Amino acid sequence: MDIKKIAMIGAGSMGGMMSLLFAELGTEVVVYDPSEENVQALMKKAKDTGLEHKLSSERDYESLCKALPSPKVFFFSLPHGSIGDKTVESLKPFLKSGDFIIDASNEHYASTERRQKMCEPLGVNFIGSGVSGGYQSARHGPSMSPGGNKEAVEKMLPFLRRAAAKDAQGRPCVAWMGEGGAGHYVKMVHNGIEQGMMSALCETWGIMTQCLGLEYEEIAEIFEEWDTKGELIKNFLVSIGSDICRTKDPKSNSYVLDEVKDKVVQDVDETEGTGTWTVEEASRLHVSIPTITAAHMFRLSSADAAQRIHVHKSLEGHIRVGRIEVADKKAFIEDLRKATYAAFLISFIQGLDLLEHINQEKKWNLDFSAIISIWRGGCIIQSDHISDLLSKVYEHHKHIRGNLLTVHEVGHELLKCYPALKNVVLKAIEADAHVPSLSASWSYFRYSGDVNLPTQFMEAELDYFGNHMFDLKGAGAGKPVTGTHHFEWHPARGISEEHR
């Protein structure tokens, strides 16, 4: 399918940058956005980069559709929620069988599947595609995860491959994910993994600055070294972390980082929904993702700075982050590197476990090797060593089901980091440092492989007051279903019986 002209609905940071990318690759782009300010800002960028001849804009859906050849191809870059439904409804009168809509927004997979059903009677192909990597990657090549009807996606793949990021071997970071909302679900999980990784790295940075007293330039050099060798080689978040620690405002010659308030608000103001959805989906599907969940809750708490100030006053400032005294600072920084890597890998393990559960529920037949391949470039969770490790795992264990900790190579990779992770968590807790995701990673790794948990006592209490039943210890592992035994710990009695 030779695509020479497309429509981009939504000219914000992501839609605008994708428009410029498509234009640079030779495709004409017609833009529609109700915000004239967004359109004008995009047109100025197009002029500044010599692409103005490839971009134009329209003021309504009818003229937008008339400007396109048949079959028409639309890209959405919209806020999540009802606006996507309204946009489809507004386009409906002008759509014809064979047209394509590629929703490149961060959208909930259920909304994607609802819109696919809206478009199906019209013969319109609705593809839900995750687009990863932020606005920089949207400009020079993002990672993409299209999902929907396989035949429809395959018609679009040659176009998407041209625009997608390329990995170190030059392979495009895009592949069909599966039917229905699979593409947006994979992107949702990508962002959940991202939250776990970002939290672990910011906790590590906090230990370095607050507990070890390292200067920004020292941390930049450490991150730079981590990014060039070992398990964190070519890790996107570590790489940009080095840049962030070094960047100064040319006007004041002060570090920009010093001026950034400790508030992460994207989840609370709902400009970003994927982290929330990841935690909700894990709860719904009964999947343990504590590293990701702890990261999400950390972000939520950080967002309400006013409440934190009130709590701080209530506690009269009695708890403050202290120093960590170590005999060998270089050795402890190495422990920090291994702990960070462990939390990163555990974030992947938890996210992939969630994907396995939705795969079983929806029968999407997800190709996990393909998922790892599209995360090798152009995305926030790019981490070459982790991708290499997991690619080999899926290559050698093609029919694996369940948690990757059950795979010897993965479990032993984490065992090598376990002493470092434990040491970092212990010292951080002693110093009252903030390590929600690092400590959750340590705890998750411990209880995931323990065969004698104290939850035995919890199960007994549940049976005591709720008659919830339990399994007997000698009966084998069994399945996660209601037990077959109950003990009458304290028989229920009426009011009159209690006084006898």
Active site residue 194: yes
Per DSSP, the residues of 254-304 read SBGGGG--S---TTTTTS--HHHHHHHHHHHTT---HHHHHHHHHHHHHH-
Question: What kind and span of H or E run contains 157?
Answer: helix 150-163
Q: Which of 139, 150, 112, 110 is nearest to 128 (CA)?
A: 112
The residues, ordered by sequence, that sit 6+ positions from 190 with a Cβ below 8 Å of its Cβ are 130, 132, 145, 274, 351, 375, 379, 380, 381
DSSP 67: T
Question: What kind and span of H or E run contains 9?
Answer: strand 5-9
Q: How far apart are CA 164 and CA 177, in angstroms?
A: 15
Active site residue 338: no
Q: Which of 107, 113, 194, 281 is catalytic?
A: 194
Structure tokens at 156: 């679009």
Question: What kind and span of H or E run contains 8?
Answer: strand 5-9
- Map residue 235 onto helix, strand or coil: strand
Helices and strands: H and E segment counts in the chain: 20, 7
Q: Within 13 Å, how many C-alpha atoms sit on residue 472's CB side? A: 6
Q: Which of 187, 231, 356, 427 is catalytic?
A: 187
Q: How far apart are CA 428 and CA 398, in angstroms?
A: 39
Q: Count of CB atoms within 10 A of residue 117's CB?
A: 10
- Whether the link from the prior residue into 454 is cis, omega within 30° of 0, is no
Q: Which of 124, 100, 53, 144 is nearest to 374 (CA)?
A: 144
Structure tokens at 343: 């939390």
Q: How far apart are CA 310 and CA 344, in angstroms?
A: 33
Q: How far apart are CA 115 and CA 112, in angstroms?
A: 5
Q: How far apart are CA 328 and CA 102, in angstroms?
A: 54
What residues act catalytically?
A: 187, 194
